[in-house]
Amino acid sequence: MSQERYDRQVRIWGTEGQKKINNTKILLVGAGGTGCEIIKNLTLLGFGEIHVVDLDIIEISNLNRQFFFYDDVVGKYKAEVAVEKARILNPNIKLFNYNEKVQNISQDILISCDYYISALDNISARLFLNQKAIELDKPLLDCGTEGFLGHVQVVIPKKTPCLVCQDLWVHPEMNFKCTYAIYPRTPLDCALEARDKFYIEKNRLPDSDNEDDIKILLKLAREHAEKFNIIGIDTEIIKDSLKGTVESIITTNSIIGSVLVNELVKLVLHNSEISEKLELQIINFFQFQGKTETGWTIPLKRNKNCPVCSIDQVKISVDKEIPLIQLVQKLNRQINTFIGLPLLIKNNTIIFREKIHLNDIDSKITKDEYKRLLDLETKSLSDILKESDSILLKDESTGMKFKIKIQYN
């Protein structure tokens, strides 16, 4: 690879530093506003291999901040177009795009990459990538923006806190899906239930720009709402539930994308004479407030009880007479992270499965299995689990897994 292209940065970290960058493989998940900034930075710096993952398509509302995209590519996949444009910026590097969920990316690709970058707009994918980073011992750089606000977090397995350690990604009202499946309270709850039913039936996410998809979701949401006397279901509620839309500006995205890649460069050069010479310091959390042009670093500490990066097994104390469904809800609070479709397994046998509440359109669950699992939900724990039993909690929507040990009060 020609080093003349990198002459100005080589003057900072030398040819050896540039070789380290050229030989580094990156997995970037998210090709939106901040993702585009990151792709541009990675490409121009000369990172040798970049894998870009994003299942979203380009919308007109993206064009104010996602500079790889323009009117003629509206409707195409973000990852595909971003990679195509990045190749023009630097034809000397390898770029790959995947128009799918990160949960579907092969283990071989996850293992082959040296660093993970999260430029995501949803919690479930973020937490999946966080757990994979810990599992495969890959440094993870996470970022996010909302209006004038932005952040960057650096996760180094076994050294710095992961995304779950500080409860940064747990919404105060977040709960298991069974909350809005069985006890919905708002029109949004009904819209979320409709979204999940659509996914099970169609084996794909609904498209917020597809009128047929919106009509199906509207019908499903109203049917669910009618059962619980909830009113106010309309098209806007459906679309908002799909997009999780937040305000976004290119200036904040540019700043955060630059800070993140700056931290990545420092990681790549870490533990070398180059790093010592340049006196590079790695931060683990950076917060930015654009209204006052203020940025500050926060030295986060690892949580010794984190179920993802610190302990192999979550111990939970419960009353043995509570029903199984109550244990599931308690686990959500104890683990304190997003679980979309919980599945409990004891000795290779399923004892709880959230998907049974979608049984009317889930042909994979037989009537006998449905009845067995439904009966178990209301049984006392003492009838199902012994003292000190270990069970596996798996989220079928993300693939995250947790080992649970039961202790009775």
List the chain domain ranges: 4-170+246-297, 177-243, 314-408
To the query of whether residue 162 is one of the catalytic residues in this protein, the response is no
Pick from 121, 124, 137: which is nearest to 164 by CA?
124
Q: What is the pLDDT of residues 3-31, one digit of tens each?
A: 789 999 999 999 999 999 999 999 999 99
Give pLDDT tens digits for 225-278: 998 889 889 888 888 777 666 778 999 999 999 999 999 999 999 988 888 888
pLDDT by residue (tens digit) across 327-336?
Answer: 888 887 777 6
Instruction: State the catalytic residue, choosing from 113, 162, 165, 178.
Output: 178
The answer to whether 52 and 95 are in contact (CB under 8 A) is yes
- Can you read off the two tokens belonging to residue 327? 């244990």
Burial of 280 (0-12, 13-18, 19+ CB in 10 A): middle
pLDDT higher than 90, residue 110: yes
Q: What is the pLDDT of residue 129?
A: 95
How many CB atoms within 10 Å of residue 304? 9
DSSP-derived pairing of the beta strands 94-98 and 115-118: unpaired
pLDDT band of residue 168 (cuts 50, 70, 90) is: low
Helices (H), 228-360: 235-243, 250-268, 273-278, 324-335
Mean pLDDT of the region 35-53: 98
Contact, 30 vs 52, CB < 8 A? no
In terms of average pLDDT, the best of 36-40, 146-150, 168-172, 179-183 is 36-40
- Number of other residues whose CB lies within 10 A of the CB of residue 110: 18
Burial degree of 254 (CB within 10 A; 0-12, 13-18, 19+)? buried
Beta-bridge partners for 146: 149
Classify 177-243 by CATH class. Answer: mainly alpha
**Residue 122: what pLDDT?**
78
Q: Are 260 and 38 in contact (CB under 8 A)?
A: yes
Instruction: Give percent of the chain with pLDDT exceeding 70.
Output: 92
pLDDT at 172 over 50: no
How far apart, in Å, are the Cα atoms of 132 and each of 115, 116, 118, 204? 11, 9, 12, 23
Question: DSSP string spanning 195-237?
Answer: HHHHHHHHSSPPPTT-HHHHHHHHHHHHHHHHHTT-----HHH
Give the separation between CA 208 and CA 253, rounded to whole angstroms. 24
% residues pLDDT > 90 (the chain): 54
Q: Bigger pLDDT: 400 or 133?
A: 133
Concatenated DSSP letters of 138-194: --EEEEEEETTEEEEEEE-TTTS--TTTTTTT--TT---HHHHHHS--SHHHHHHHH
Strands 314-318 and 401-408: parallel
Nearest to 315 by CA among 384, 391, 394: 391
pLDDT digits (tens, 9 = 90+) for 188-223: 889 988 988 888 787 677 877 688 889 999 999 999
Type of residue numbered 358: L
Q: Parallel, antiparallel, or unpaired: how do β-strands 94-98 and 49-53 relate?
A: parallel
Give the CATH number of domain 314-408; options: 3.30.390.10, 1.10.150.170, 3.10.290.20, 3.40.605.10. 3.10.290.20
Q: May I ask the CATH class of domain 4-170+246-297? A: alpha beta
User: Mind listing the pLDDT tens digit for each residue in 274-304?
Assistant: 888 888 888 899 999 999 999 999 888 999 8
Look over the chain and give the mean of its residue pLDDT values, rounded to a whole number.
88
pLDDT in tens, 311-359: 888 888 889 999 998 888 888 777 767 676 789 999 999 999 876 655 4
- The token duo for 138 is 């890959």
